[in-house]
A and B are shown apart, each in its own frame.
Chain A
Amino acid sequence: MTNLSSWLDKPIPARAGVGLKPEHFAEILDTEPDIGWFEVHAENYMGDGGPPHHFLSLIRERYPLSIHGVGLSIGGEGALDAEHLKRLKTVVDRYSPGLFSEHLAWSTHGDIFYSDLLPLPYNEATLETVVAHIDQVQDVVGRQMLLENPATYVTFKSSDMAEIDFLREIVARTGCGLLLDVNNVYVAGTNHDYSPQAYLDAFPFEHVGEIHLAGHAEARDDAGARVLIDAHDRALVDDVWALYERVISSGVSVPTLIEWDNDVPSWARLFSEAQKADRILKGAQTEDAVAV
């Protein structure tokens, strides 16, 4: 299923990258910063032409690229939108990305697209649906996808599997890889009162092809309990950096993305976040080299 030749053709290094924003197109092309790679949301490049494709093509000539879908509704009970899947394939074919990922979430029900990553119960019925959807995506797009663990605010009474077991089973049945979002682990752990570190200790790192890092907002629920919201609108908190360092120091050395999608900062500010992740990755790689 995996198109190995195109995969190796455009590898993404085990370095830090950032989510590419139109606000930064010109400065990136002017200054050609020393950054490992960029990631884009596929849905922003589904138009026929114009500036988005012009700038992304120029950046693609200079940097490795990852494509991240946000609208496929893989976790939804309904059939995938075949037209949307075709559009996704067109974007992937056009840019030949080093990595390709989507979410364990739903965003479409019936005829309506809700433009958010919505949660699903974890049980055998939903597992079978997700597996069928991922099989379909990998067949149509013609390559392996990475599935991202979600940030969630509620749980379901009808869930009878732990999220990690659900993810493991999906990987076993589909051959997809995983995108580990460390901020989502922190957010979900806080929101559902479990230890993010314990979750990470149980995570199947051998299937992780990419890591996401982002900032979150904070609120309180009706009972006064702390609720974190996956807002992507600010810098990471120290706790998430600390979790990330532990993941990296445990031997996981994969491309790491800084996501900052709302209240987008200056390029310099975003780049400095990426450099911080790069130092952590390089530090672990150096230690490995010394150990050898």
Chain B
Amino acid sequence: MPLPSDIEKSFAASLLDKDGRVPSDLTSYSSPVPQSRFNIYRNNVHVALIDMMAAKFPIVLKLVGEEFFRGAARVYIRANPPTSAMTINYGKGFPGFLENFEHVQDVPYLADVARLEWLRMEAYNAADRKSLGGEDLAAIDHDRLIETSFELHPSLRLLQSEYPVYSIWQANIDGVALSSVDLNSGGEDVLIIRPRLEVLVIKLASGHCDFVRALGSGIALGEANERAFESHEGFDLQLAISGLIGCGAFTGFSK
């Protein structure tokens, strides 16, 4: 009798490989080599994982079409099957995979659209935290404002793209033709956050991304402002702060 470990090993190996030969310990009353019955398991595994990817990357799917997406996802899952039953985290590597996937090299912005969708998923499942309002921040002593550092919302994510990734994503959400987006209009920076139940996707003005990133790494307001201003002359601190308060980005500050 084969060892239980050998049976499971050959079963597992045949689930995702190309041939999918039925393991020798399997049988059925109707057919001694139950290939089509074993294929039900193979199909279940592929469909479950591909559906999982389709649910996480709906705009990528829309951009490349369902058939192509499912083919690409199949290549991805075979090369990068999930390593945990914590499937909320599965698919994180898909944007990087798309970046190098030879069949989508004529859609250079696709990987960044996938990144945006992935960050939305992260924000969706991130920890809940109450945001501070303008009145909470008004309590900060003015003299000490530049030395103050801030705690940002646990769902806050940033994406910097060489492509107009926000415009491409938003056009697809709105159901507007992609031809309305000038793909050569330059890069866009995006902030993603879920202050309450809804995930917000916000296009950032020049310099704001550097500013938020600096704050997020614990750098005090004064220095974060200087850094943003050095690299982006038009950086407007007032505008950046009010935008961040408006989307619930602040959850605490150093006293």
Contacts and interface: CB of A to CB of B under 8 A. Distances in A.
Query: Do A and B belong to a common assembly?
Result: yes
B31 A222 contact: yes
A157 B31 contact: no
A120 B12 CA distance: 12
Interface in A35-60: 43, 46-54
Given A193-B30, A221-B31, A225-B30, A114 B38 contact: no
A225 B3 CA distance: 29
A106 interface: yes
Given A43-B86, A114-B12, A225-B31, A153 B41 contact: yes
Given A49-B126, A50-B128, A157-B27, A43 B4 contact: no
Contacts of A50: 124-126, 128, 155, 194, 197
A81 B84 contact: yes
Contact of B127 (A49, A76, A112, A225): A49
B4 A112 contact: no
B30 A223 contact: yes
Given A115-B82, A221-B36, A222-B36, A158 B1 contact: yes
B37 A77 contact: no
A157 B154 CA distance: 52
A73 B12 CA distance: 13
Interface string A208-221: 00000000000111
Given A129-B4, A154-B27, A221-B30, A112 B83 contact: yes
B48 A115 contact: yes
A72 interface: yes
B84 A47 contact: no
Given A50-B124, A153-B40, A153-B41, A192 B4 contact: no
Nearest to B122: A47
B200 interface: no
Contacts of A229: 40
A32 B42 CA distance: 40
A87 B4 contact: no
A106 B88 contact: no
Contacts of B26: 154-157
B49 interface: yes
Contacts of B154: 48-49
Given A47-B88, A121-B7, A158 B125 contact: no
Contacts of A108: 85
B206 interface: no
Interface in A166-198: 191-193
A278 to B, nearest CB: 31
A53 B5 CA distance: 38
Contacts of B4: 77, 120-121, 123, 125-126, 129, 158
A113 interface: yes
B178 interface: no
A210 to B, nearest CB: 22
Identify the interface centre among B1, B36, B85: most chain A CB within 10 Å of its CB: B85
B37 A43 contact: no
Contact of A51 (B12, B81, B124, B127): B124
A71 interface: yes
A30 interface: no
B85 A116 contact: no
B34 to A, nearest CB: 5
Given A48-B154, A106-B8, A121-B25, A116 B41 contact: yes
A53 B125 CA distance: 9
Contact of B27 (A43, A72, A156): A156
Q: Which of B11, B37, B41, B127 has the most CB of A within 10 A?
A: B37
Nearest to A115: B48
Given A113-B84, A222-B36, 8 more contacts: A109-B9, A156-B7, A158-B25, A219-B40, A220-B36, A222-B31, A225-B28, A225-B30
